[in-house]
Amino acid sequence: MKLQTQRFIDRWVGQLLCGAVSAWVRFTGLFSAPTQLAIAPKNILVILLSEMGSIVLAGPMFAQLRRQYPGAAIHILQLKKNQEVTRLLQLTRPETMHSLDDSSGSSLVRDILKVSLAMRRLGLDAVIDCELFSRVSALLSFTTGAPVRVGFTPHTQEGLYRGSFINHAIPYNPYQHISKQFLSLVDALGSAGSIPRNKAAAIRNMPVDTELSVVFAHDELAAYRAKLLADHPVTTSKKLVLMYAGGGILPERAWPAEHYARVAQGLCAAGFTVGLIGLKDDAQLAKDLLVKIQSEACIDLTGYTKSIRELLMLFHAAQLLITNDGGPGHFATLTPIQTMVFFGPETGKLYGPLGSRNTVLESGIACSPCLSAYNHRLTFCDGDNQCLKRIAPDPVLADALAFLSSPPAATTA
């Protein structure tokens, strides 16, 4: 199903359904006490329908859930296309992973009904809705039958209505990194009394890392490195720099292709190998870049990795990743690679990768960031993303060369 179609249905149909559910909950709530989490909950569902990179940013939240509720089974509901990351990170057991297929409207409705019935039979103690102002996720939190429903509320924000049946809600805070806000959702699980508020929540510092890891055997990494050398001999005696120039589902997040070409030319001239990574859909962009770069030291690696696990092994074999905002920058934090990530339509202050091995590059012009939960990630720049175009390539090249020329720092995989 197209993204715009999903937004349309969520906005108009979703608001009507949220209003109806809110009226029902308000009526039935007249005869019952406020719900509180059981002392020893057995089943907690986390709804996380966003892009795969959000799963990495939610790492500290999952770690806190396991620490705080060690006896609870953590169920995770995601879009089917995003489950690969959850399996790789072993965030939960395979039997507690649930999915929605959004490839068509009929498959999405079918899976919503299927998951809702399964969760009701299971008997959830609580559900955590990690989506910001999505109505479908809010409705899912109700249809699962969980008595404790945790999520974000717009509070007095106009135009973001999604009902009033999230009974352990916290206000969305546009000034705090999303990983920190995910942790606040865990705090809200045990809250009591009038909501929305998070006045009683713990004082939390910004998470320093993802608390996630993917373990690779030394032989596995060595075998992958040997395969890379055999397939692309130009990488044999040169440091490898990876570039992800694609914009994914939001093309306005992409730094200009000509800027990438300029940096790649400089890196190749300085004696480094540049690998252009991406999905098969990025193959034409890579071909266009190769024409601009005109260097045998630049290779096309789009579609080369067949899984997220292989992508992480490729990161282990490289020294630097230069990337647009998106999944690769977040996945890189699970490996020793250094990253340089461009932000503009969105901001690294809210969605930047966790950890110390990354540099966020932003222009800081007045209209940036323009994508937010309040406008459903619809930009007003009509594709003319000046926030990224004004990040000049030469300073980026200088920073990349300075890092690649510096002595290697001690790192752990």
pLDDT digits (tens, 9 = 90+) for 276-297: 999 989 999 999 999 999 999 9
Give 292-333 pLDDT, tens digit per residue: 999 999 999 999 999 999 999 999 999 999 999 999 999 999
304: in domain: yes
413: in domain: no
Same domain, 36 and 105: yes
What's the Cα-to-Cα distance from 69 to each of 31, 62, 87, 157, 398, rounded to whole Å?
30, 10, 21, 33, 47
Residues of the chain with pLDDT > 70: what percent?
Answer: 96
Instruction: Report whether the peptide linkage leading into residue 369 is cis, meaning its omega lies within 30 degrees of zero.
Output: yes
Same domain, 252 and 174: no
E-strand ranges in 101-239 read 126-129, 148-153, 168-171
Question: Is residue 193 very low, low, confident or very high in pLDDT (cuts 50, 70, 90)?
Answer: low
In this structure, of 111-125, 193-207, 246-260, 346-360, the range with the lowest mean pLDDT score is 193-207
In this structure, of 39-48, 381-390, 394-403, the range with the lowest mean pLDDT score is 381-390
d(CA 117, CA 123): 10
Same domain, 333 and 285: yes
Question: Is residue 198 very low, low, confident or very high in pLDDT (cuts 50, 70, 90)?
Answer: low
Instruction: Provide the pLDDT for residue 411.
Output: 46
Question: Is residue 181 very low, low, confident or very high in pLDDT (cuts 50, 70, 90)?
Answer: very high
> Mean pLDDT of all residues in the chain?
92
d(CA 361, CA 54): 19
Domain boundary among 189, 205, 227: 189
Same domain, 144 and 9: yes
**Three state DSSP letters for 281-317:** HHHHHHHHHHHHHCCCCEEECCCCCCCHHHHHHHHHC
The answer on pLDDT for 381 being more than 50 is: yes
In the block, residue with structure tokens 């399964």: 118
If one counts every other C-beta atom within 10 angstroms of the C-beta of residue 35, the result is 14
Please work out, in degrees rounded to the nearest 5, the angle formed at the alpha carbon of residue 68 by the alpha carbons of 142 and 144.
15
114 touches 97 (CB < 8 A): no
Instruction: Provide the pLDDT for residue 74.
Output: 98
The answer on pLDDT for 172 being more than 70 is: yes
The answer on pLDDT for 1 being more than 80 is: no
Give 59-73 pLDDT, tens digit per residue: 999 999 999 999 999
Burial class (CB in 10 A: 0-12, 13-18, 19+), 385: buried
Total domains, the chain:
2
Same domain, 171 and 225: no
Q: Which amino acid is at 386?
A: Q
**DSSP3 helix / strand / coil % (the chain, rounded to 5):** 45, 15, 40
Same domain, 156 and 263: no
d(CA 99, CA 51): 14
**Structural domain containing residue 235:** 219-405
Same domain, 149 and 23: yes
The answer on pLDDT for 359 being more than 80 is: yes
Same domain, 179 and 235: no
208: in domain: no
Question: Is residue 197 very low, low, confident or very high in pLDDT (cuts 50, 70, 90)?
Answer: low
Question: Is residue 4 very low, low, confident or very high in pLDDT (cuts 50, 70, 90)?
Answer: confident
Q: What is the CATH number of the domain that holds 110?
A: 3.40.50.2000
195: in domain: no
Which tokens go with 184?
Answer: 């606040």
The answer on pLDDT for 412 being more than 60 is: no
Instruction: Provide the pLDDT for residue 409.
Output: 63
281: in domain: yes
In this structure, of 56-70, 149-163, 198-212, the range with the lowest mean pLDDT score is 198-212
331 touches 357 (CB < 8 A): no
> Span 392-402, mean pLDDT?
98
| Residue 214 φ/ψ region, left for φ over 0, alpha for ψ in the -120 to 50 degree band, beta for the rest | beta
Same domain, 183 and 229: no
Domain boundary among 173, 189, 205: 189
353: in domain: yes
Domain boundary among 139, 174, 189: 189
135: in domain: yes
Instruction: Provide the pLDDT for residue 410.
Output: 52
Question: Which residues lie closer than 8 Å to 18 by C-beta, 6 or more apart?
Answer: 135, 138, 139, 161, 162, 163, 165
Same domain, 77 and 170: yes
Max CA separation in the chain (angstroms)? 74
Q: Single out the residue of 139, 132, 182 nearest to residue 154, CA to CA.
A: 132
241 touches 267 (CB < 8 A): yes
Same domain, 120 and 228: no
198: in domain: no
Same domain, 164 and 236: no
